[in-house]
Every structure is written in C-alpha cells, then in structure tokens.
Amino acid sequence: MDLKSSFSGIFDALLTKEPLFKNKEALRHSYTPAELPHREAEIKQLASILAPALRFETPSNVLIYGKSGTGKTIVSKFICKELTETGNKLGVPVSTIYLNCEVTDTKYRVLANLAKEFGENVPFTGWPTDKVYASFKEAVDAKKQCIIILLDEIDKLVGKGGDEIIYNLTRVNSELQNARVSIIGISNDLKFTNYLDSRIQSSLGEEEIVFSPYNAKQLEDILRQRAELAFKPGVVGEFVIPLCAALAAREHGDARRALDLLRVSGEVAERENAEIITEAHIRKANEKIEADNIVEAVRTLPTQSKLLLYSVILLEEMGGRVITTGEVYDVYKRLCRQLSLDVLTQRRVSDLISELDMLGILNSSVVSKGRYGRTKEIKLDVPPVGIRLVLEDDIRLKNLATFKLPQRRLGE
C-alpha cells in the first residue's frame, strides 16, 4: 500500500474545503452577544437593584434562580460589566468578582479566591479559614469602594460548610469601615433556599429574580441572532432554526443546548461536505451530543466507580433478573481481586451507586422485597456495548476484557 501517494496533501484538502462557518465563536457559551433577546425585563430589574452602587450606597443582595441555559450567568456578567464601566466613568469605584462555586465549592476556597482577587497572597490550602477571612476583609477594606460578588451555582456550596461563608459574606459590611459588599447568588436549583438557614435566607434573598426557561419561539430568536453571526449566508435553511429550537425546548428550554446543537449540526454538515445544513445533520448532531455527554461522563469516572459500572454491565449481559446492590457488590469484589485493587465497603459502594444514578448513567430505585429484604434495583441507563469499550479503554481496567463471570449455579 502506498501511503504517501494516497495521503499526501491530506491537510491541504481539509484546509481548502470551504467551511460553512464564518465565526464559530458566536455559538460558544462564552460568547456574549451585544443584545440578549427576551431578557430585557430581567436586565432592567437587576440593573435597578444594583444601581445604588453608583451612588455609593450598598445594593441589596440578590438571589437569581433559573434552570441551566436560561441566561442567568450571561445577564449577570453583562450587568456587572456595565456597572463597572459606568462606575469608572463617574469616578465611583465599583468592582465585581465572579466566582463559580462548582469549582470553588468550600468555604476555604471561596475565601481564598476572593482574597486573591484583591491581590492577597493566599495559598490554596494550609491557612486556618479565619485567617483567610481576615485577610480578605483587610484587602477589601483598604479603600472606599463598592464590591459586588457574583456567586454562580451557589447551591453547590450548601452542605459543605459553605452556608457559613454565605452568612459571613452577607454580614461582612458591619465589620468594614470603608468598603461595601453586596452579593449576587445564582442558583440552578429553585428550591435552594429551603436548604438554607433562615438567617441567611432573609439576608441573601433581599431581592429575588427568577429566570424562566425560554420557549421554542424565544430560542428561535436567540439562535437566529447567533446563526447570523456564525454561518455564511445561505447555509442555514428555513427549517433549521425552528428544529434546533424545538429539540432544545424539550430539554427545559436550555439555550446552551440549543447553541451546541446548531454548532454541532454545522460541524456534521461540514464534515460531510454538504453546502447547507439538513434535517439529517441536525438529528445526527443531537444524537452525537447525547452520546458524547455520556462517554465523557463515564470516561472521567473514578476507577472504583468504573469498576462498579462494569459489574453492572456484566450482570446485565447475563440477562435475566433485576440487579440488586448485593449482586453488584459480589461481582465488584471479584473484579477488584482480579485487578488487585482495594475493595471498598458495601456502605461506600451504595453511595457510589447513588452517584452513578445522579449522573444518569444508572437507574436505581429502592424497593422492598418483603421477606427478602430491602435493596436497590439497578438498571443500566446507557448502551452497554459502547460503554463497556469506554471502560476497557482505561489502562487500569485493561485486563477486564478477558474477565468472565462464573456461570450462575443452576436453579438460581
């Protein structure tokens, strides 16, 4: 086989091929368009709450609710940017800090990050939390200024001692001489406040804004605006945007999902050397996104969870009865021995199974089988064959491909 002749210039061909996009960035989540359609009311509301900062009064704390992809983050960031800029123009020092609590999900980390924003040198671990707090306060209070702290995904903080932080931050003003601090909390979880201490509830939720999901029509407008920027003219047919919008609307009106869908559709079409996006491309893109999400979720699982998942797959492949925690644990123990890995306790395994359930990889429900005890009934929620391959791709699990479960004893 003559590799050289058949493949030389392979990149040339790919480069000269005319792409359908003119600016793919416009479809990314990080892209902030000049206008945010269907969020005018929320923008106005948030702006009026924060406006006092420009008169050097402390704005109320705000809680913003809404499901993912409803524009909470983008609107808040947008307002904060405007606020800082206006502040600069007027000579009023306003600074805003954005923190995503999914990453910084403990009180220490939140404080450390905040302190760092103000130039304090705080190690990412090591100090007592009080000290970090003190250092943060000192840095903030160094000059007369208004500070708005944007805590995204604030719901991720509760239960990890993060409530304490929220409480401290909402009352830090009483300990400050010069600066003023306000908090904007952004939560995906509508019932978030239920888990909070009532003292925090009242101080954090002085103002509340709810972002409702976009409907299909609104998603269309958003997509249209972005498609205009992202694609070359004539690429996006009449039906493309309504279809993408409709598919995304089924996922609780998630604009991010809609944008992903549009982008991936374009990529699929491009790869097939098509000149316009067709319905088939969109359907394919939709499946691809779903599959990619699962694969990514499985691939990044910790080893023990992978092993558990593998156990479930083996049991499922044997067919027959429903799978219970005890059975999974048995198989899991064998796999561990085979790979000479530590065996976790059943208690821990039970938690791991629940985690897999939350990730949507498994489906587990607690059932009582009367005399035969109470257990979780476990079902796989992903295609077994594909996922099995993903798991076997992990170096640590390589040897599993040859592992065989002993046949079940007869009569059982």
Out of 176, 246, 339, 343, the only residue in the binding site for DNA (CB under 7 A) is 343
Q: Does 304 bind DNA (CB under 7 A)?
A: yes
For the chain, the farthest-separated pair of C-alpha atoms sits apart, in whole angstroms, at 83
Out of 191, 347, 404, 409, the only residue in the binding site for DNA (CB under 7 A) is 347
> Which is closer to DNA, CB of 9 or CB of 373?
373
How does strand 207-211 pair with strand 323-324? Answer: unpaired
> Which is closer to DNA, CB of 132 or CB of 244?
132
The stretch among 16-24, 53-61, 107-115, 380-388 that binds DNA (CB under 7 A) is 107-115
DSSP state of 132: H
Q: Does 125 bind DNA (CB under 7 A)?
A: yes
Cα of first residue to Cα of last residue in the chain, in angstroms, is 55
Q: Does 130 bind DNA (CB under 7 A)?
A: yes
Out of 226, 257, 306, 376, the only residue in the binding site for DNA (CB under 7 A) is 376
Q: Does 372 bind DNA (CB under 7 A)?
A: yes
Closest CA to 188 of 222, 148, 156: 156
Out of 33, 126, 237, 386, the only residue in the binding site for DNA (CB under 7 A) is 126
Out of 369, 396, 398, 408, the only residue in the binding site for DNA (CB under 7 A) is 369
Out of 124, 171, 210, 299, the only residue in the binding site for DNA (CB under 7 A) is 124
How does strand 374-380 pair with strand 323-324? Answer: antiparallel
Q: Does 129 bind DNA (CB under 7 A)?
A: yes
Query: Contact, 60 vs 181, CB < 8 A?
Result: no
Closest CA to 309 of 368, 239, 240, 364: 364
Out of 60, 225, 278, 354, the only residue in the binding site for DNA (CB under 7 A) is 354
Q: Does 231 bind DNA (CB under 7 A)?
A: no
Task: Give the residue ranges of DSSP H helices in 35-106.
Answer: 40-50, 72-90
Rounded Cα distance between 103 and 101, Å, is 5
Task: Give the residue ranges of DSSP H helices in 210-343.
Answer: 216-230, 240-250, 255-271, 279-299, 303-318, 325-338
> Which is closer to DNA, CB of 42 or CB of 153?
153
Each residue 13-52 as x (binds DNA by CB under 7 A) or -, in order, gives ----------------------------------------
Q: For Cα atoms 64, 69, 71, give the angle at the middle one, nearest 5 degrees.
A: 50
Query: Contact, 72 vs 189, CB < 8 A?
Result: no
Residue holding tokens 């979880």?
189
Number of residues that bind DNA (CB under 7 A): 44
Each residue 191-220 as x (binds DNA by CB under 7 A) or -, in order, gives ------------------------------
Rounded Cα distance between 252 and 265, Å, is 20
Q: Does 161 bind DNA (CB under 7 A)?
A: yes
Q: Does 327 bind DNA (CB under 7 A)?
A: yes
Q: Does 105 bind DNA (CB under 7 A)?
A: yes
The stretch among 103-111, 215-223, 232-240, 241-249 that binds DNA (CB under 7 A) is 103-111
Q: Does 312 bind DNA (CB under 7 A)?
A: no
Q: What count of other Cβ atoms lies within 10 Å of the Cβ of residue 404?
A: 6
> Which is closer to DNA, CB of 97 or CB of 343?
343
> Which is closer to DNA, CB of 123 or CB of 319?
123
Q: Does 370 bind DNA (CB under 7 A)?
A: yes
What are the backbone dihedrals phi and psi of residue 326, each rounded to the nearest 5 degrees, phi first?
Answer: -60, -45
Q: What count of other Cβ atoms lies within 10 Å of the Cβ of residue 297?
A: 16
Contact residues: DNA, CB under 7 A? 105-109, 123-130, 160-161, 302, 304, 324-327, 329, 342-348, 350-354, 366, 368-376
